[in-house]
Structure 1
Amino acid sequence: ILYFETENARDDTIKVNITDVRILKEISQIETGRDSQGRGLNYVPNDHGEEDDFIYVLSIASIVRELNGSSSRAIPAFFHQVENATGVDLDFLKPLKDAAVAQAGTYRIPDDQDDVNDWVDQVDPRILEHMVLDTNKDKIWDSAISLLGLVSNLDFDEITMRVREYYQDEVERYNAQAPPGYRLYVRDTGTIPVTKDVQDRSVEEGINALVIATILVLIALFIFHRTLKILLIALIPVSVSIALTFSIVSITRLPITPQVIAVGPIIIALGVAYGLYIANRYAEESQIEDKTERIKVAVRTTGKAVFLSAVTTAGGFASLMTANILPMQTVGLTLTLGILINYIVAMLLVPPLVLILDYHKRGDSFGRYFKKISPIPARHTRKILATGVVLLILSMGLLWSGAIGSDVDFLSFAPEDQPSLMTFKDYGDIFHGGASGMVIVRGAPATEDRYEDSMKDYDVLQSVDNLEAQINRVENVWAISVVDIFKTLRLKNILQAQADNPEAFQLMEYLLAIMSDLGIHQHEKYENMTYWDIIVQSPENKQPYNVRLFWIEMVYDSLTPEVREFFINSDYSKMLIFIDMPIKSVAKSRAAVDGVNRAVARWPAGQSTSKLTGVAAVGITVNDLIFINAITSLILSLVFVLIVLMVIFRSVRYSIITVIPLSIVIGLLPLTFFIFGTPLTIITAMLGSIVVGAGVDFSIHTTERIREEGETLEGVQQTIETSGRSFVEATAVTLAGLLAGFAIPIKPIHVFIGLIMFLLV
């Protein structure tokens, strides 16, 4: 989408309209390159994008070009249809026909402002208001848009840069020569440039977040350990892990989305925890004088729990890859890779680093607090369990009551200050568009002998007109089809084009006289009518001539292939009704999409009519899949964790005990969403699996340590005093790393990070 503004949009004392010939020619130059030197973006309009990658252009400039050139195409089409209808050889009139075509307008912006104004006045106001607007209410059109359709499977980076370089250079050239008040300002937006810009920005913001996360993690580690040695032990393995993880992601060419950039701080935080567990256990075994033996004990004991944590964490994250939503799959893959690589690198690098640096803690200022805390679970077991049960019941009640909704606002997943995104929002707010889509009307192919049920059949076109009228009644929705072209073109356009050419005018008099004799046309009645009005008022009888088919084929033949094939396929068996609506959140778009689909169900056209597809419809489908994907991935992650625990612990009892705390936290998700006022979105849907992956560490290390210390009250207290300290450190370090997510200028990321932090605590 190209978004054009005149100087009047910024200074209403300048009274230059955006449909001024100079400005309209510059817009046309950018689109096709036919009104100035050099070629424009869609420099071969009828090539289906094979040469220039552009299939169509829809704008006020393209409409004026189409109307201005309509007579030069309509005259031969008119001539041809009269020959077909009468069976009379009209070769004697061909010189007049050629003279008429030479006199007619061409596919370009006319030089005369009055001609431009006449063509603009001919456009349906309902369509015009989506092409040009007066944004400052001074009765001067100051803004216009150009919709450019591209072939599929393009390189987003290449096409975006090509478009930007061209229009920026061209507008700079034009503005350097433009008289005062005639300068033009152009911005680009649309799904392709926004996607490209968001991916580029995501990489930039991701790097910043990684740097900030690393700094915050190191600060947290230093506060707890008061030695620079722990910084090296933590930093070196995690740096290697991050480099390897994102290198592999880059090699796979997976898209770097805003959801993926939130993964970096999570990987750093969890990766540091693995090294921290081993280093802390090494420090705890200070009674073993042999350092090598001490590190062996640390690896043999805590290393087992770290392995179990890594496998179960990776399994929890891997469940996201079962989703049929690409961003969830990408996040799942990135997290799974990151955790497995973190574990491998930690086990390879942390032990030698601990030995080389001879790591030990400097004091333990937190130990006395854990001695006081450790008896609490044993003394208040029933109170703790009762509180958990009450909260779970409340949380499940919120879930089943429907208090937790799902909603996706795709524009919110990008930095608000991104220029292409800001332009996209302007387009939605001002032109009420952005969530474009289409309805497909299906019929039968048209042949030389049969046209019934094809897009040449008047009854089919009438049903399309009825359906389009119903669609346009839906709030915030506008539709356009080929019928609107029939309603724009007029027979008088051909006659007026010949006013200064007696020979050409004589041709039309001959043709109209022949048609009048056949009963196809009454000159006085039809001259000022649109072709659609002529078709509607033509006789229904098909003998001896099908009058309606005469006019329908004449109009189709008078259209440029670019316009005709935008709406109709080559054999006239399918028609596209183009639909646009403001880009909004899924919850707000649903009413419009449902309204269009209800219209399709009640007023179907042709042999069959598809439901609405496009940006809004697909967004709703994705939104409806979120809940299913969230539940499926969550169940899979819990089942995987339970199976792995059973294999490692070789005990159903220990496995279930380990999973219970995790399940309680998962059960509190609806309550958490309700407290934070957060709907289920494409990013919060991943919370369950991420919490399983990140939180399973605590349960595993607790169970494993109790098994070592013994299932006694003293064993439980000893576990809380020792592993509990590591949990606090690991949690604090994890929270410090996650804080970096708030440096990413995307609000849903802030909510996502905040929820993870809350649930981890």
Structure 2
Amino acid sequence: MVDLDYQRLIDWADEWITERPRTVVLLFVVLTAVFAVGMTNISTSSGTSQFTDDSPAQTALDNVNEEFSPTFSEANGSTQLIQRGSNVLSKEELLAMLTLQQRAEEDPSLRIASTSSAAAIVAQTLDPEATTLDDQIDAIEDATPTEIDSAIGTAAENEGFTSLLSNDFNEQSASASATIGTITHDVPGGVSSSSAGTSGSSPLTGYQTRVRTMADSVDSDITVFGSGIVSDEFTNIIFDSLIIVVPAAALLILIFLIFAYRDPIDLLLGVISLVFAVVWTFGFTGLAGLPFSQMLIAVPPLLLAVGIDFGIHTINRYREERVQEYSVTKSMRTATDQLFVAFFIVTGTTVVGFAANGVSSLQPIRQFGLVAAVGIVFTFLIFGIFLPAAKVWGDHLRVRYGIPEFGLTPLGAEGSLLGRVLTVGVSAARRAPYAVLVLTLVTSVAAGGYATGVDTTFSQDDFLPPEDLPDYVEALPEPFAPGTYTVTETSNFLEDNFATTQESSVTVYAEGDLRTDSALESIQRANENPPDPVVTSGRTASTDSIITVIRDYANQSSSFAALVDRNDVDGDGVPDDNLGEVYDALLESPYRAQALNYITEDYRSTQVVYSIESDATQDEISNSGRTLANRYRLDATATGQTIVLQAVTDAIFVSAIQSLVAALIVTAIFLVVIYYIIEGRPSLGLVNLVPIVTSVALLAGSMRLFAIPLNALTATILSIAIGLGVDYSSHFVHRFVDEYHESGEEVFVALDDTVRGTGGALTGSMLTTTTGIGVLALAITPILGQFGVVVALSIFFAYLTSMLLTPSVIVVWERWT
């Protein structure tokens, strides 16, 4: 054992807890009030944009949207009006759409720049001079059904008209079941299309909410859709999930805490401590200026998992001394002397597991790791100091006022049913410890190998409620009833009923001096023999770029064609010399607007848009984009929504592996060092780690078995499983060490005492936390439900391996050392 006087620190804490409990309690109450103020400063951040902010592809996409005119199908500041019915081309439905457009235009607060719809096209076909909505409504009202059908037939010759109609449009019967109208808003400062519908707030939310109210007053089934509606649902889903999950979790936790504590005052102290831990953590979040995102919804259950464990261990260990008729002070001193070290080990390893997410390249995952790690430190302080002090103060008051105690018998006491069940692992260790280890090794390798096939995903759908909410959610009364969610259903409807009018595309954003003689030729050469998913013309990629504009204008202007020809050394239609002069002439021509879609006025950046086959997968699109960008002699980055999402998907997988490896390595080092310091036996650190490695392998295999992917939230679970899992094995190993010394190094006597003492507390903790956290499966957001399941599984596997495997590992350790 290293000569490090850590006992002096424990004695100092013991003195405050047992001799000045009221002072300690009042100090923690004051600190809680301070942190409660911090909670009022919390802001929200939701959606997928928070994951893409640090992505080079997202940065390039933002630059494209800022520097060039939009090349994407969805305009900035737009609201979609999705009309459904038996025939949206009937006279009544056409009038309903035009009426809604008219009411929107009459509201100056909506800042309407323009509106469009299939109904407007039909009206202008009937009367080409009907340029206003009033005139268009008159044209439809004055027309007979036959005239309207004829106008629809004429308009159907225009692809722009049919693209606004659902796939079931029948020209002969002049009918369709759905159509899309568009309102364009003049938004001050604009709206980034790169993040439309993905961030926690949007300048379009207020506009689209008011348009939705107008649509409700129109005699037609019209759904309002757009980035503002999506952003609003992203934000609302956080609060609706919390209001469902928190009460359910609280109820289940309360039930199991009643079983674990069996005393109303102890139960109250445990619940108050849990509340303090949550308030401190989110008070810190507010004071630090960190936004509250969907990922942070998972932090309270994690705090509850560790807090419940600490609380039950504290009370249970204290009761083990009290039943031997020791005094309140002596019983708590004995309990805290032992538990402080165990709690420190658990806190250190749990913080390592959570903080390991700091290696992630994704900012929300790093923030999640930070908040969770800080929360665990707070939990250690509250349950390691406040709860014992409150218990001592409360029991002194009980003695003074003659208040009886209940449930004084500790969990897992000898002779109880639970006590007999808990010794199963010890019995296996008596008979065949090596066989247990071999079976564990085979199982772990098999589970780990199977887990390599787990999926990795990242999409907007992860953060939105499903199209059809479960029946139990629909049946919830106020105030638990969730709001109305339409985004998923509307998105699926659009995908199923409207043909895409745009090919998939990839954009390469390139920066550098575009006046360099080789600039355009290097772009042209990069387009030769492109990857298979890229649409080609001959052996060259089909693109839209500044080269396209140069050729188009050269076909229209003989003087410009002569300028290009004079500077085209190899005769391929792409100028090689004096590019600044060519650009100047182009920007002074009628093609200026088209040119500025692809090149900036300082000639320092450009975009090249590649058409992609419609059946290409997300991986193929991303790989093609990167391959093309790597061919550029300029500083080039492939971008586009597909590439941005794929980049995050790849980062999630890398994050999961890196954080797992970091957590394993740092946890192993921490445990070896800490057991070397307190026991002089570093090998006990490895004993502590064996059950955790097994539980992580079982968890990863279970994720594939239950089709739970690695997504933005579950990617954190592998490192978290180490942090939470060490909680169980650390309590077991540390308690064993104490009993081992007291029993004169009789290993099985020490194991029996350990599983009946600490094993009982671990059982109560496992039952409480698995049900309390598992209730996240009730959350409306799929990503939270999946996270709840995997955390509950990780705790269950950690408990199982600690109770069944650790005794055999200890027996083998004792024989070899």
TM-score by length of 2: 0.64
| Equivalent residue number for residue 100 of structure 1 | none
Structure 1 contact 193–420 (Cα < 8 Å) conserved: yes
Structure 2 contact 233–464 (Cα < 8 Å) conserved: no
Q: CA deviation at 1:724?
A: 1.0
1:4 and 2:80 aligned: yes
AA partner of residue 391 (structure 1): T
1:239 and 2:266 aligned: no
1:137 to 164, 169, 172: 169
Q: Distance in 2 between matches of 1:142 and 1:226?
A: 63
**1:588–1:720 CA distance, 2 compared to 1 (3 A):** farther
Q: Distance in 2 between matches of 1:121 and 1:466?
A: 40
AA partner of residue 208 (structure 2): R
Deviations 1:427-474 (A, max 9, x none): 44445679997514659989xxx999999x9x9999999999985579
**1:435–1:229 CA distance, 2 compared to 1 (3 A):** farther
| Equivalent residue number for residue 211 of structure 2 | 167
1:343 and 2:380 aligned: yes
1:15 to 87, 90, 111: 90
Q: Distance in 2 between matches of 1:145 and 1:692?
A: 51
| Equivalent residue number for residue 263 of structure 1 | 299
State how 1:15-34 maps to structure 2 within 5 Å. 15=90
Q: Distance in 1 between matches of 2:246 and 2:207?
A: 32
AA partner of residue 317 (structure 2): R
| Equivalent residue number for residue 214 of structure 1 | 250
Structure 2 contact 201–231 (Cα < 8 Å) conserved: no
State how 1:675-754 maps to structure 2 within 5 Å. 675-710=705-740, 711=745, 712-754=747-789
**1:249–1:216 CA distance, 2 compared to 1 (3 A):** same
Structure 1 contact 634–689 (Cα < 8 Å) conserved: yes
Q: Distance in 2 between matches of 1:551 and 1:469?
A: 32
Structure 2 contact 448–700 (Cα < 8 Å) conserved: yes
Q: Distance in 2 between matches of 1:452 and 1:121?
A: 48
**1:442–1:340 CA distance, 2 compared to 1 (3 A):** closer
AA partner of residue 361 (structure 1): G
Structure 2 contact 200–232 (Cα < 8 Å) conserved: yes
Structure 1 contact 315–641 (Cα < 8 Å) conserved: yes
**1:143–1:482 CA distance, 2 compared to 1 (3 A):** farther
Aligned-residue sequence identity (percent) comes to 18
Q: CA deviation at 1:573?
A: 6.2
Structure 2 contact 215–224 (Cα < 8 Å) conserved: no
AA partner of residue 365 (structure 2): M
Q: Distance in 1 between matches of 2:583 and 2:334?
A: 91
AA partner of residue 720 (structure 1): V
| Equivalent residue number for residue 299 of structure 1 | 336
| Equivalent residue number for residue 45 of structure 2 | none
1:668 and 2:698 aligned: yes
Q: CA deviation at 1:426?
A: 3.7
| Equivalent residue number for residue 525 of structure 1 | none
AA partner of residue 213 (structure 1): A
Structure 2 contact 349–667 (Cα < 8 Å) conserved: yes
State how 1:267-666 maps to structure 2 within 5 Å. 267-286=303-322, 287-358=324-395, 361=407, 365=416, 366-370=418-422, 374-398=426-450, 402-417=452-467, 418-431=485-498, 439-440=507-508, 471=534, 536=555, 542-543=561-562, 565=596, 568-571=599-602, 574-576=605-607, 588-595=617-624, 610=636, 612-649=638-675, 650=677, 651-666=681-696
| Equivalent residue number for residue 38 of structure 1 | 108
| Equivalent residue number for residue 512 of structure 1 | none
**1:708–1:467 CA distance, 2 compared to 1 (3 A):** closer
**1:165–1:622 CA distance, 2 compared to 1 (3 A):** closer
Structure 1 contact 203–256 (Cα < 8 Å) conserved: no
**1:461–1:27 CA distance, 2 compared to 1 (3 A):** farther
Query: Helix, strand or coil: the match of 1:265?
Result: helix
Q: Distance in 2 between matches of 1:201 and 1:464?
A: 44
Q: Distance in 1 between matches of 2:256 and 2:351?
A: 25
Query: Helix, strand or coil: the match of 1:262?
Result: helix
Deviations 1:668-687 (A, max 9, x none): 34433333233333333212
Deviations 1:276-327 (A, max 9, x none): 1010001011214311111111111123211221122112111112211123
Q: Distance in 2 between matches of 1:578 and 1:21?
A: 39
| Equivalent residue number for residue 5 of structure 2 | none
Q: CA deviation at 1:351?
A: 1.3
Query: Helix, strand or coil: the match of 1:416?
Result: coil
Query: Helix, strand or coil: the match of 2:721?
Result: helix
Q: Distance in 1 between matches of 2:336 and 2:201?
A: 47
Deviations 1:372-414 (A, max 9, x none): 6643323231221111111123234335xx5334333441232
AA partner of residue 663 (structure 2): S
Q: CA deviation at 1:107?
A: 11
Deviations 1:196-222 (A, max 9, x none): 532332133234323322221110122
AA partner of residue 702 (structure 2): T
AA partner of residue 439 (structure 2): T
TM-score by length of 1: 0.69
Query: Helix, strand or coil: the match of 2:738?
Result: helix
AA partner of residue 343 (structure 1): F
Q: CA deviation at 1:544?
A: 9.4
Q: CA deviation at 1:258?
A: 3.1
Q: Distance in 2 between matches of 1:674 and 1:37?
A: 53
Query: Helix, strand or coil: the match of 1:407?
Result: coil
Structure 1 contact 454–573 (Cα < 8 Å) conserved: no
Point out the more displaced range, 664-673 or 702-711: 664-673
Q: Distance in 2 between matches of 1:744 and 1:637?
A: 28
Q: Point out where structure 2 has 5 or more consecutive residues left out of the alignment.
A: 1-73, 141-150, 396-404, 468-484, 567-572, 574-580, 797-817
Structure 2 contact 599–607 (Cα < 8 Å) conserved: yes
**1:485–1:552 CA distance, 2 compared to 1 (3 A):** farther
AA partner of residue 656 (structure 2): A
Q: Distance in 2 between matches of 1:444 and 1:308?
A: 54
Q: CA deviation at 1:760?
A: 2.0
AA partner of residue 708 (structure 1): D
**1:185–1:404 CA distance, 2 compared to 1 (3 A):** closer
Structure 1 contact 217–734 (Cα < 8 Å) conserved: yes
Q: Distance in 2 between matches of 1:484 and 1:21?
A: 45
Deviations 1:343-386 (A, max 9, x none): 11112321133234446535554234335664332323122111
State the Cα RMSD in Å. Answer: 5.2
Query: Helix, strand or coil: the match of 1:343?
Result: helix
AA partner of residue 489 (structure 2): M
**1:42–1:385 CA distance, 2 compared to 1 (3 A):** same
Q: Distance in 1 between matches of 2:519 and 2:133?
A: 33
AA partner of residue 325 (structure 1): L
1:157 and 2:189 aligned: no
| Equivalent residue number for residue 248 of structure 1 | 284
| Equivalent residue number for residue 519 of structure 1 | none
AA partner of residue 271 (structure 1): G
Equivalent residue pairs, number? 631
Q: CA deviation at 1:187?
A: 1.7
Larger radius of gyration: 1
